[in-house]
Amino acid sequence: MADLNDPTTQWWRNSVVYQVYVRSFADSDGDGIGDLPGITSRLPHLAELGVDALWITPFYTSPQHDHGYDVADYRDVDPLFGTLSDADDLVARAHELGLRVVVDIVPNHTSSEHEWFQAALAAGKGSPERARYLFRDAPDGELPNNWGSVFGGPAWTQVDDGQWYLHLFDSTQPDLDWRNPEVPAMFEDVLRFWLDRGVDGFRIDVAHGLFKVESLRDQEVGEDERPSSGQVNTDHSMVSLDLKDEPMWDQPEVHDVYRSWHRLLDEAGPDKMAVAEAWTQTPESMAAFVRPDELDQAFNFAWLLADWSAEAFARVITSTLAAVEPVGASPTWVLSNHDVVRHTTRYGGGAVGLARARAATLTMLALPGSSYLYQGEELGLEQVDVAPEHRQDPSWLRTGEVGRDGCRVPIPWSGTQAPYGFGPGEAQPWIPQPDDWAALTVEAQAADPGSTLAFYRDALRIRREFAWTAGDKVDVLDSDDDVLVLRRGPLTVVLNCGTTPVELPEGELLLASGPVEGTLPANTAAWLRA
């Protein structure tokens, strides 16, 4: 593990970062909604799990139309989640436990309740207040352009005086105009504010979004395509990797922002980092965000999008390493987050889905660079089929299509019935938990050496022995449709995506994702030391 006390360590280069979805991690006050003191009280779970850092989703003042990704005040904590002093306590306690803290920054849009947007509405057409956002006129019966919101429907909403404003997400999330110098100035202050409070890094929301083509011209849309952004498709699990015309995403000007943020982070210290959420279309465009004078890492969604196929995993590994190598950045890997269907369910659900999820996780954790875990995957949780009356995702409200609520169900900690220790007493969480989660609680799994939690703890403990020394080079030794064999330093990894057992190569078996008797069963991965 990187030494937490060594300020010169680029600790993120080989770390395991655990994503905390604040509403759903732990509730301290019994209102059924997770909060900062809840996270603080559960930090020992993360230390015991063996992760290096946690990334906390937005907890700032927000009307919660997109659960905090609609920020009304970037420098305060929403009362739902606690206070600034609770945030300070969380950071201090995490550091005591050897855990770094990454917070989420949402620079593409504000909440419509942000004072800037309220002032823009009040000030009217042509005002400097409106010039912080993207207000436009359109002829009667028309929209300013054909762009769609990621959450469905048009990306434009009309205000009382007839003007329209752009929102690539919900209508309560107006996009900022990053060509207005007030906007970058505000965010530099926000970054400094949180650095001064001791955070170790930032996850940049919609990092590829800030700049749009200046003309706001129409998007060219193929015959069978929807005129939308393509970030999340209708089942909210995938993006299309076909190259599209995207005048709203990934514009060259955005890189100047990250160059200036790089300088700002550098001034705060060599151990401060930033990771981009950038749904770019190619590995090369992802790598542009992590050039030496820009951000440190970018989520590698290609790994999460790969099918259950040895060949597909091999392709992503090879192309990812090839893309980041020239810019000297560390690669990242992720299988689940709060926006996609949990990987147990993507891989088929039930026993097979869980076996595959564990195998993919073990493969990921062997790779150079950082792995990002999503809360609950260490318990093997599946996507939950949330009843319509409990769904809150704005995309569900805009389109009537099942949204992302199913991966956001609160964590089961203990006990045999809901709320499974999520909060004090009987208070039920904001999304109901399934009736059959008693065997999945942290408490139950901690007592079972065969549990998914025990498997994650073992994997992270063993990973620490090689993560910083096994090197950045990966040799893919075999990758037909069924079996992936790769070597990294002294470590050999075998992943069986097929249907029949395969021979294991020579070596000491360090860990397997499921039972191994001589041969490696289907849907299983193993680590061996040569």
Q: Which does 33 bind (CB under 5 to 8 A by kind): Mg ion, ligand NOJ, none?
A: Mg ion
Beta bridge partners of 240: none
Which residue is catalytic, options 35, 52, 177, 205?
A: 205
Question: Quick one: 29 or 401, whose CB is closer to Mg ion?
Answer: 29
**40-69 burial: b if 16+ Cβ within 10 Å, else e:** bebbebbeebbbbbbbbbbbbbbebbbbbb
What are the C-alpha distances in Å from 218 to residues 148, 170, 228?
A: 10, 20, 11
Q: Which does 422 bind (CB under 5 to 8 A by kind): Mg ion, ligand NOJ, none?
A: none
Output the residue with the shortest Cβ distance to ligand NOJ: 69
Beta bridge partners of 486: 476, 493
Question: Quick one: 69 or 116, whose CB is closer to ligand NOJ?
Answer: 69
Rounded-to-integer distance, Cα 233 and Cα 514, Å: 33
Element (H, E) at 240: none
Q: Which does 86 bind (CB under 5 to 8 A by kind): Mg ion, ligand NOJ, none?
A: none
Residue 277: CB minimum distance to ligand NOJ, A:
6
CA neighbor of 34 nearest in space, from 381, 440, 346, 421: 421
Q: How many helices (H) and strands (E) does the chain have?
A: 14, 18
Answer yes or no: are the C-beta atoms of 276 and 289 closer than 8 Å. yes
Q: Which does 169 bind (CB under 5 to 8 A by kind): ligand NOJ, Mg ion, none?
A: ligand NOJ
Q: Tell how far CA 316 is from the center of its chain.
A: 18
Residue 408: CB minimum distance to ligand NOJ, A:
9
Binding residues for ligand NOJ, how many (CB under 6 A)?
9
Residue 144: CB minimum distance to ligand NOJ, A:
21
Residue 395: CB minimum distance to ligand NOJ, A:
8
Instruction: Out of 102, 103, 195, 206, point to the residue binding ligand NOJ (CB under 6 A).
Output: 206
Residue 70: CB minimum distance to ligand NOJ, A:
7
- Interacting residue ranges for Mg ion, rule: CB under 5 A: 27, 29, 31, 33, 35
Residue 92: CB minimum distance to Mg ion, A:
20
Q: Which does 339 bind (CB under 5 to 8 A by kind): Mg ion, ligand NOJ, none?
A: ligand NOJ
Q: Judged by CB under 6 A, does residue 205 bind ligand NOJ?
A: yes
Rounded-to-integer distance, Cα 493 and Cα 75, Å: 45
Question: Quick one: 78 or 277, whose CB is closer to ligand NOJ?
Answer: 277
Tell me the per-residue interface mask from 69 to 88 with ligand NOJ, x by CB under 6 A, - otherwise: x-------------------
Known active-site residue 205: yes
Tell me the per-residue interface mask from 137 to 166 with ligand NOJ, x by CB under 6 A, - otherwise: ------------------------------
DSSP SS3 for 239 = coil
> Binding to ligand NOJ (CB under 6 A): which residues in 273-312?
277
Residue 194: CB minimum distance to ligand NOJ, A:
17
Cβ contacts of residue 15 below 8 Å, gap of 6+? 2, 51, 52, 53, 100, 370, 467
Q: Which does 206 bind (CB under 5 to 8 A by kind): Mg ion, ligand NOJ, none?
A: ligand NOJ
Q: Which does 346 bind (CB under 5 to 8 A by kind): ligand NOJ, Mg ion, none?
A: none
Encode 264-298 in three state secondary structure. Answer: HHHHHCCCCEEEECCCCCCHHHHHHCCCCCCCCEE
Question: Quick one: 33 or 526, whose CB is closer to Mg ion?
Answer: 33
Q: Which does 35 bind (CB under 5 to 8 A by kind): Mg ion, ligand NOJ, none?
A: Mg ion
Which residue is catalytic, options 137, 267, 385, 481?
A: 267
> Binding to ligand NOJ (CB under 6 A): which residues in 214-273?
none
Encode 180-233 in three state secondary structure. Answer: CCHHHHHHHHHHHHHHHCCCCEEEECCCCCCCCCCCCCCCCCCCCCCCCCCCCC
Contacts 24+ apart (CB under 8 A), 391-399: 392/67, 392/430, 392/431, 393/236, 394/65, 394/66, 394/151, 394/169, 394/170, 394/172, 395/150, 395/151, 395/152, 395/232, 395/236, 398/149, 398/151, 398/152, 398/153, 398/170, 399/151, 399/152, 399/153, 399/234
Question: Quick one: 35 or 52, whose CB is closer to Mg ion?
Answer: 35
Catalytic amino acids? 205, 267
Footprint of ligand NOJ (CB under 6 A): 66, 69, 106, 169, 205-206, 277, 338-339
